[in-house]
Amino acid sequence: MEDKYIELLKKKCAETSYRKLMALDNTKLHDFIGKYAGLCNPDSVFIGDDSDEDAQYIRNKALEIGEERELAIQGHTIHYDGYNDQARDKAQTKYLLSEVMELGATLNTIDKEEGLIEVHEYLKDSMAGKEMLVLFFCLGPANSEFSIPCVQITDSSYVAHSEYILYRRGYRQFERIGNSEDFFRIMHSAGALENMVSKDVDKRRVYIDLEENIVYSTNTQYAGNTVGLKKLSLRLAIHKASGEDWLAEHMLVMGVHGPDGRVTYFTGAYPSACGKTSTAMMRGESIVGDDIAYLRHRDGKVYAVNVESGIFGIIQNVNAKDDPLIWEVLTSPNEVIFSNVLVTENKTPFWLGDGREMPESGINHSGQWVKGKKDSKGNEITHSHKNARYTVKLRSLKNLDSKLDDAQGAETKGIIYGGRDSNTWSPLQQSFDWAHGVITMGASLESETTSATLGKEGVRQFCPMSNIDFVSVSLGRYISNHLKFADSLDSPPAIFAANYFLKDKKTGEYVTGMQDKRVWIKWMELRVNNDVDAIKTPTGFIPKYEDLKKLFKQVLDTDYAEEDYIKQFTLRIPENLQKIERITEIYKTKVSDTPNILFSILEEQKKRLKAAQEKYGDYVVPEIWL
C-alpha cells in the first residue's frame, strides 16, 4: 500500500476494521480502498468480513440512518428510491473507452479520461459526514473455477444490505487469492441525500472500466444502478469471459424434474419482465438461480452456476395463486427488502397485481399517497411502482435446488431464449442445431419494452441473448464466442425459443395462459432426453399435439383443445419474414464485425419460409408439416 494511504486508513478505520484490511495481503486492493477513502472523504471506514456480526451491523445501520424501515413481519424492511430513480439508467451507463479499445458502434461509450474526470468530480467529498462501507463478495460458488472475488465500496447501507442477501461472502476468497490482481472493484456513492434518497439524480452516472475491472456509480440508489455485483459486474464478466473461452450470461439456471426422479438442468435468457423469474420459480421444479449464470465447458459437457445466492425480483403480479412459493417468503418471517411498494399505516406492503384490495392511502415512492394522486405532469401515481422489487435469499425458498453452491456447477442440457413477442414467435420451438439456435433464437431475440428500463413501454427492441444492455465486447465477437463455445462439446445443449406473450391476430388476447409455461418446460425436458418426437417446420421443431395434450393433463389437470394448439403453433410467415429483414438490417448496418454465418443461416431460413408461403399461404397450421 502507498504510504499516503496507510495513515489515512489508520485514521478512518476502527482498529478491528484496519486489522481486517491489513490481513488481506493485496496491494492493488489496499491502494483502491485508500484512493477512494481519500477522494470521497468519509468520516469513517468500515471493513466487513464474512462474519454474521458484520452482516448484522449493516442491517442495523440501514434502519438506524433511515434507508430502510421495519415492516410488520419480522425481518421485513422497506426501502424507497427517489421518485426519478426507479430503473436502470441505460443512457448514463457507459463504457470508459481508451484509445486502444474497440467496442463497436452498438455500445454506449465515453472517452475514458473525460469520464474519469467527471465521475471523480462527483465522488469528491461525496461521503463527507457518512461512513464508507468496504465489503467483500464472491461471484459464483467460492473456491471454484467459476469464482470471481469482488470488493464493493459504498456509502449506502441499503446497497450493502442488498448485497449481503444477494451474494456469497468473499473475504475468505480474498485470503485465498493473496496478492493476485484478478478481482472486480466497485465504487459507489449515493451522493447528496434528501429524505434519505439521492438528491442529484441529474448527475447520475454509471461508468465501467473494462481494462481495470472497475465500476463507478454515483448519485443513485436504485439497486440496478448501484448493486455493483449484479448487471454492472456482468459487463465486466462478459469481457473477461470473451478472452477465456467461457460465457457470462443473463440467464436463469433451473432443475426440471422429469420421469422417475430425473432432474435435467436448463439455463434461460429472458429480458426483464418477460418471465425469467417466474420460469425459474416454476411450481414443481427447482431453482438454482433466476438472473445471471456463468457457463463453462469441461470434458465435452457444459456446466452452469448461479453467480448470485439471492433474488432481486420484480414484484408486480406476484400473488398467492400464481406464485405460491415466493408469496410464502414475502408474507412470512424472513429477511426481505421490499422497494418502492405501498406501505399502509399498519406497516403492511401492497403492490400491483398482488390479488388484494388496493388500500386507499399509505406511503410509497412518491411520499404520502392517496388513491388518485397525480405527479407534476398530471399522471396518476399508482400505489406501487411498476418496477417495484423484492430482495430475498434463495435459501428462503422451499424449491431451492441442491446445486446452488456446487463448485462443479450443474450439467446443462438445454438453453432457452425468451422474449416479449406479441405477433411472431410461437410459444415454443427448438432449433435444428447449435448454430441455428444461436443465430435465429439467441442473436435474433427481440422483446417489447417494459417498466424495468427507462423510456416508453411496448416498443420492440433488439435484444440478442437478452444481453444487449450488458454486452461489453463488440456484438460480432460476442456472437462468434457463442458459436465457438460448442467446438469442444461432445453434444451441445439443445436450444429453445419461448414466448409467453403471443397474441391472437383477431382479438389481441394472449393465446396462452400464465401456467402454460409449466407444460412447455416439461416438453423441453422430455425432448432433450429423447423421450418425445417433434414436428419440423421452417423455423425449428415444435411439439406434437398429442404430447402436449398428455402433458396439459398431467401437469395442469386441464384438457388441451386442438383449437388452442392450432392458434399457438400456426406458423406466421409474414411476421417471421419481417423479423428476418429487421435482424439482417441491424447486423449489416450497425455491427461491423458480424460473422458471415449469421447472414447465411438467416438467408436459409428466409428461403424455407418463402417456399412454404408459396405452397401453403401466409399462415400455416401445424398439421401441414406432418
Q: Do 257 and 109 fall into the same domain?
A: no
Written as nine digits, the cell of 366 is 412518491
**Which 3 state secondary structure label does DSSP give 557?**
coil
Tell me, yes or no, whether 441 and 539 share the same domain.
Answer: yes
CATH code, 141 = 3.40.449.10
Q: Which residue has the cell 407444460?
A: 519
C-alpha to C-alpha distances, 127 to 77, 154, 174, nearest whole angstrom: 24, 9, 25
Q: Residue 119: CB partners within 8 Å, gap ≥ 6?
A: 205, 207, 216, 218
Residue 419 lies in a domain: yes
Which pLDDT score is estimated for 100? 65
Does any domain span residue 123?
A: yes
Are 556 and 507 within one domain?
yes
Helix (H) or strand (E) holding 56: helix 52-65
Tens-place pLDDT, residues 68-92: 999 999 999 999 999 999 988 989 9
With a CB cutoff of 8 Å and minimum separation 6, the contacts of 518 are: 282, 283, 284, 555, 556
What DSSP state is assigned to residue 110? E
Could you tell me if residue 437 is inside a domain? yes
Pairing of strands 69-70, 193-194: unpaired
Residues of the domain holding 165: 3-68+91-244
**Three-state secondary structure string covering 217-269:** EECCCCHHHHCCCCHHHHHHHHHHHHCCCCEEECCEEEEEECHHHCEEEEEEE
Whether residues 120 and 213 fall in one domain: yes
Q: Which residues contact 60 (CB under 8 A, 6 or more apart)?
A: none
d(CA 267, CA 303): 10
Residue 79 domain-assigned (yes or no): no
Rounded CA separation 227/223 (Å): 5
In the chain, which residues have pLDDT < 70? 1, 100-106, 449-458
Residues 318 and 297 in one domain: no
At which of 396, 423, 455 does a domain end? 396
What local confidence, expressed as pLDDT, does residue 460 receive?
85
Question: Does 346 share its domain with 300?
Answer: no
Of 198, 217, 244, the one marking the end of a domain is 244
Furthest CA-CA distance within the chain: 80
Mapping DSSP onto H, E and C, the string for 583-619 reads: HHHHHHHCCCCCCHHHHHHHHHHHHHHHHHHHHHCCE
- Do residues 302 and 358 both lie within one domain? no
Question: Which contiguous run of DSSP H or E holds residue 430?
Answer: strand 428-430
Please give the pLDDT value at position 3: 76
Is the domain of 225 the same as that of 288?
no
Residues 532 and 602 both lie in one domain: yes
At 520, which CATH number? 3.90.228.20
What pLDDT does 105 receive? 65
* The total number of structural domains that make up the chain: 3
Residues 191, 266, single domain; the answer is no
Task: Tell me whether residue 84 is in a domain.
Answer: no
Question: 612 and 470 in one domain?
Answer: yes
The Cα–Cα gap between 493 and 240 comes to 23
425 domain residue, yes or no = yes
Distances (CA, A) of 166 to 55, 163, 287, 364: 12, 5, 15, 24
Query: Of 252, 223, 234, which is closest to residue 161 (Cα–Cα)?
Result: 223
Residue 535 counted as domain residue: yes
The pLDDT value given to residue 106? 66
Catalytic residue of the set 40, 138, 274, 463: 274
Question: Is 138 designated active site?
Answer: no
Beta bridge pairs of residue 304? 295, 410
Residue 136 β-bridge partners: 151
Strand partners, 542: 535
Pair 332, 413 in one domain? no
Asked if residue 77 is part of any domain, the answer here is no
Task: Compute the radius of gyration of the chain from its Cα atoms.
Answer: 24
What CA–CA distance (Å, rounded) separates 159 from 548? 44
Residue ending a domain, choose from 244, 279, 296: 244
Q: Return d(Cα 358, Cα 323) in angstroms, integer.
A: 19
